[in-house]
């Protein structure tokens, strides 16, 4: 499996000519997240808070940076190249993720009683085709690595093999899939696992199964807590972009047209087995050979209940993935809580692959065991299908309509159909041995998957693939603004420049933003001045009063905002927070603070306030106060931040609707703020406890 994974991805790890990193989200969003975290790990800090976007955000709460996933920590610990993540390390890590997915599927298939050859075939189909092969975003891909193991242990519990212990292990691996950073595929996997438990309860009785199933999902909740508890906290306090006109809060329903937009198109059904017309990015392509083997396996072993369950899982996932093209998805959207948050129905193709790969293994074993009652008809259908495709491709080519056949790979599907038909016929006739036939089947599947997987990898051509090159374009501008907060033209700089360079950008390419800040008319100039945004990066000024102070080598200019507040200041007057905002006219934020419960302060002038240290998780402020007042820091207020004044605990007020304030008495004082979120530490404790329980379950003798 390891050798096959490396050789199949030869473009990535055996040459230096291709990369999987060249895409909008990878280059603009995910690489900056990873670079920030790698820098923090190498600086000896555990990254909890991201200070480089939207006046600060919780890293764990955003979920998608993958900060809670231990296997990501291994990546972040890898050696850096002058402070930057190495592309070759990222390539090998990517191959390792796919290898682990294949190994997980191999384990499931072996546990279903299939041969080693069949398990290798199924592992290859799962890891090198379909969802796992087409998704390059790590926070979406890595959850699928653990899905087969979750199913494996639940099925063991169903068979009566130490039911409680295996149910806990199934819940553990389902929980691990939630740690990777995204919720979409994990929701669908949880639905599939719940469906299996419902079927088990129908067979064995609800009272007998309820306790075991409950233990499974409680284990899932505990294992995933390191990620899900901070994410739940943040979800209540943030808005996220979902494809609607405006970002939405947790209690707003994602409109169904958004789901319809990201659903599998009917043509995508052909894309499951016809090369060249697959639907990206959630491509379900497995090839005609793998699909034929899966159908053969389902027919030959239909009497086995697990085969029926896997077939229902695969078919149900496809019907769900069709979204608005299928009433099935609409029913789930309307009736099942949180499904409306999973806005990409096509991601259910992961569950389709989870069902199909073991069925293909059953199909190979049907041939190996001489169960040929369906192979003759399969050969005939494959031959006819190959002939139709070949004739159609030649017809369109002759009619000068070659574009109608995709990019030419359709003819490869025709050839693979002929080869599969020939292999079935040879096996039925006894013309090949079991070992040779298995090797030929594996080779055919690998060949067909290779017509799609890795076929669109980027090369070093900057004109065609700009996302990675753009990350190095503005290094001189980044050096100039380092130490100050700035905003930028997101069209001229379409990536998250703050996390990439470790500088305090205000706006950022991100999936979400704290709601309290967003509701302050975040792009109004009054708001930006109050947030201490000193500079603006862009080809031209954003406001008439901005003056150019630096010209970058790549054409990007730096403009100074003359009205920007200092990052910290002191006030001695307060008023109750009302329906106004930072952008409201005629409010004097430099001298008055708006808070829910105005504290007692004295009136005076002559304060001196400065900030000698502003780190990701810790901040130090010095204040020489003429009398009692409030020191305000223009960073996002968020639960988990704690403050001390001269070492004594002090509350952090939610100042000016979205910022942080600390009441300080007269005199010279040191204010320290530290991010110590209970949601992360408490969730981490639950995850650690569940991991220890899983270890006990795995290694304790019966």
Does pLDDT of 374 surpass 60?
yes
Give the separation between CA 304 and CA 108, rounded to whole angstroms. 16
* Longest distance between any two alpha carbons in the chain, whole Å: 99
Residue 266: alpha-carbon gap to chain centroid: 25
Tally the domains of the chain. 2
Does pLDDT of 649 surpass 90?
yes
Of the candidates 94, 190, 180, the one whose C-alpha atom is nearest the C-alpha of residue 140 is 180
Task: Determine the pLDDT at residue 282.
Answer: 82
Give the separation between CA 170 and CA 498, rounded to whole angstroms. 39
Percent of the chain with pLDDT over 90: 78
CB within 8 Å of 691: residues ≥ 6 apart: 172, 223
- Write out pLDDT tens, residues 176-227: 999 999 999 999 999 999 999 999 999 998 888 999 999 999 999 999 999 9
Task: Determine the pLDDT at residue 456.
Answer: 83
Residue 496 resides in a domain:
no
Task: Determine the pLDDT at residue 404.
Answer: 47
Does pLDDT of 405 surpass 70?
no
Residue 373: alpha-carbon gap to chain centroid: 44
**pLDDT band at 371; cut points 50, 70, 90:** confident
Task: Determine the pLDDT at residue 702.
Answer: 63
Does pLDDT of 403 surpass 70?
no
Task: Determine the pLDDT at residue 275.
Answer: 84
Residue 691 resides in a domain:
no
How far the first Cα of the chain sits from its last, in Å, is 30
Does pLDDT of 436 surpass 80?
yes
Residue 379 resides in a domain:
yes
Rounded alpha-carbon distances, angstroms, from residue 589 to 535, 575, 629, 657: 20, 11, 14, 11
Residue 333 resides in a domain:
yes
Match 């592309």 to its residue by tokens. 87
Give the separation between CA 456 and CA 281, rounded to whole angstroms. 11
Contacts 24+ apart (CB under 8 A), 601-606: 601/571, 601/572, 601/573, 601/574, 601/627, 601/628, 601/629, 601/630, 601/663, 602/572, 602/627, 602/628, 602/629, 602/666, 603/572, 603/573, 603/627, 604/572, 604/629
Neighbours of 463 (CB within 10 A): 6
Task: Determine the pLDDT at residue 450.
Answer: 93
Task: Determine the pLDDT at residue 590.
Answer: 92
- Write out pLDDT tens, residues 271-327: 999 987 766 678 899 999 999 999 999 999 999 999 999 999 999 999 999 998 889
CATH number at residue 618: 2.60.40
Task: Pick the last residue of a domain from 450, 465, 488.
Answer: 450
- Write out pLDDT tens, residues 37-65: 999 999 999 999 999 999 999 999 999 99
| 291-295-296-301 Cα dihedral, nearest 10 degrees | 140
Contact between 542 and 564 under an 8 Å Cβ cutoff? The reply is no
Residue 160 resides in a domain:
yes
Query: H-helix or E-strand containing 594?
Result: strand 592-595
Task: Determine the pLDDT at residue 407.
Answer: 56
- Write out pLDDT tens, residues 485-497: 999 999 999 999 9
- Write out pLDDT tens, residues 75-116: 999 999 999 999 999 999 999 999 999 999 999 999 999 999
Q: The tokens of 11 are what?
A: 């473009």
List 536's β-bridge partners, or say none.
487, 559
Task: Determine the pLDDT at residue 398.
Answer: 63
Instruction: Tell me what the pLDDT averaged over the chain comes to.
Output: 92
Give the separation between CA 532 and CA 547, rounded to whole angstroms. 16
Q: Answer yes or no: do 572 and 442 share one domain.
A: no
Asked if residue 405 has a cis previous peptide bond (ω within 30° of 0), the answer is: no
Q: Answer yes or no: do 444 and 580 share one domain.
A: no
Task: Pick the last residue of a domain from 450, 482, 498.
Answer: 450
CB within 8 Å of 697: residues ≥ 6 apart: 165, 166, 168, 169, 172
**pLDDT band at 583; cut points 50, 70, 90:** confident
Domain that holds residue 231: 2-20+86-238+262-450
Residue 248 resides in a domain:
no
- Write out pLDDT tens, residues 124-151: 999 999 999 999 899 999 999 999 999 9
Q: The tokens of 172 are what?
A: 């553990």
**pLDDT band at 389; cut points 50, 70, 90:** confident
Task: Pick the last residue of a domain from 429, 450, 471.
Answer: 450
Residue 229 resides in a domain:
yes
Residue 111 resides in a domain:
yes
Match 């609607």 to its residue by tokens. 244
């Amino acid at each position: 499996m390891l050798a096959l994974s490396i050789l199949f991805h030869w473009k990535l790890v055996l040459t230096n000519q291709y990369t999987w990193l060249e895409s909008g989200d990878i280059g603009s969003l995910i690489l900056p997240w990873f670079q920030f975290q790698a820098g923090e790990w190498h600086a000896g800090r555990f990254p909890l808070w991201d200070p480089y976007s939207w006046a600060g955000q919780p890293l764990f709460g955003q979920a998608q940076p993958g900060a809670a996933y231990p296997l990501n920590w291994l990546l972040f610990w890898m050696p850096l190249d002058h402070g930057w993540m190495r592309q070759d390390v990222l390539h090998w890590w990517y191959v390792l993720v796919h290898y682990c997915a294949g190994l997980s599927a191999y384990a499931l298939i072996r546990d279903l009683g299939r041969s080693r050859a069949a398990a290798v075939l199924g592992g290859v189909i799962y890891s090198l085709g379909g969802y796992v092969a087409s998704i390059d975003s790590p926070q979406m891909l890595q959850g699928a690595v653990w899905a087969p193991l979750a199913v494996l242990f639940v099925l063991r519990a169903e068979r009566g093999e130490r039911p409680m212990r295996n149910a806990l292990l199934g819940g553990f691996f389902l929980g691990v899939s939630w740690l990777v950073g995204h919720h979409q595929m994990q929701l669908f996997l949880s639905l599939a696992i719940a469906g299996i438990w419902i079927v088990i309860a129908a067979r064995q009785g609800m009272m007998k199964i309820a306790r075991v199933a409950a233990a499974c999902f409680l284990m899932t909740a505990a294992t995933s807590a390191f990620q899900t508890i901070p994410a739940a906290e943040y979800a209540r306090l943030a808005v996220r972009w979902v494809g609607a006109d405006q970002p939405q809060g947790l209690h707003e329903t994602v409109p169904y047209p958004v789901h319809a937009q990201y659903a599998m198109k009917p043509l995508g059904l052909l894309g499951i087995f016809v090369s060249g017309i697959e639907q990206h990015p959630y491509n379900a392509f497995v090839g005609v050979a793998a699909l034929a083997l899966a159908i053969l396996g389902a027919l030959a072993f239909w009497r086995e209940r697990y085969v029926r369950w896997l077939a229902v899982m695969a078919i149900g996932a496809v019907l769900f993935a069709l979204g608005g093209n299928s009433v099935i998805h609409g029913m789930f959207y309307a009736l099942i809580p949180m499904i409306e948050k999973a806005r990409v129905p096509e991601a259910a193709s992961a569950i389709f692959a989870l069902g199909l790969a073991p069925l293909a293994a059953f199909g190979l074993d049907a041939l190996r065991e001489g169960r040929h009652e369906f192979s003759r008809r399969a050969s005939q259908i494959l031959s006819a299908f190959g002939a139709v495709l070949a004739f159609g491709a030649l017809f369109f080519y002759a009619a000068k309509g070659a574009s109608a056949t995709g990019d030419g790979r359709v003819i490869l599907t025709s050839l693979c159909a002929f080869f599969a038909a020939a292999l079935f016929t040879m096996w039925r006739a006894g013309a090949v041995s079991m070992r040779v036939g298995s090797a030929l089947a594996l080779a055919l599947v690998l060949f067909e998957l290779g017509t799609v997987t890795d076929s669109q990898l980027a090369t070093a051509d900057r004109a065609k693939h700009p996302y990675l090159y753009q990350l190095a374009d503005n290094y001189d501008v980044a050096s100039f603004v380092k130490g100050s907060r700035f905003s930028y033209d997101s069209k001229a700089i379409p990536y998250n420049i703050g996390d990439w360079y470790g500088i305090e950008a205000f706006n950022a390419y991100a999936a979400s933003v704290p709601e309290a800040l967003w509701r302050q008319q975040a792009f109004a100039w009054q708001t930006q001045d109050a947030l201490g945004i000193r500079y603006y990066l862009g080809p031209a000024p954003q406001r008439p009063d901005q003056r150019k102070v630096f010209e970058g080598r790549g054409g990007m200019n730096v403009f100074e905002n003359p009205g920007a507040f200092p990052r910290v200041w002191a006030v001695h007057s307060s008023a109750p927070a009302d329906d106004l905002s930072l952008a409201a006219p005629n409010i004097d934020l430099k001298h008055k603070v708006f808070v829910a419960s105005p504290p007692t302060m004295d009136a005076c002038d002559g304060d001196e306030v400065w900030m000698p240290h502003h780190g990701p998780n810790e901040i130090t402020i010095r204040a020489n106060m003429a009398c009692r007042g409030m020191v305000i820091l223009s960073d996002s207020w968020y639960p988990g931040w704690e403050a001390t004044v001269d070492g004594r605990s002090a509350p952090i007020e939610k100042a000016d609707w979205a910022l942080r304030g600390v009441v300080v008495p007269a005199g010279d004082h040191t204010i320290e703020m530290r991010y110590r979120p209970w949601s992360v530490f408490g969730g981490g404790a639950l995850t650690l406890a569940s991991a220890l329980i899983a270890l006990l379950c795995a290694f304790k003798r019966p």
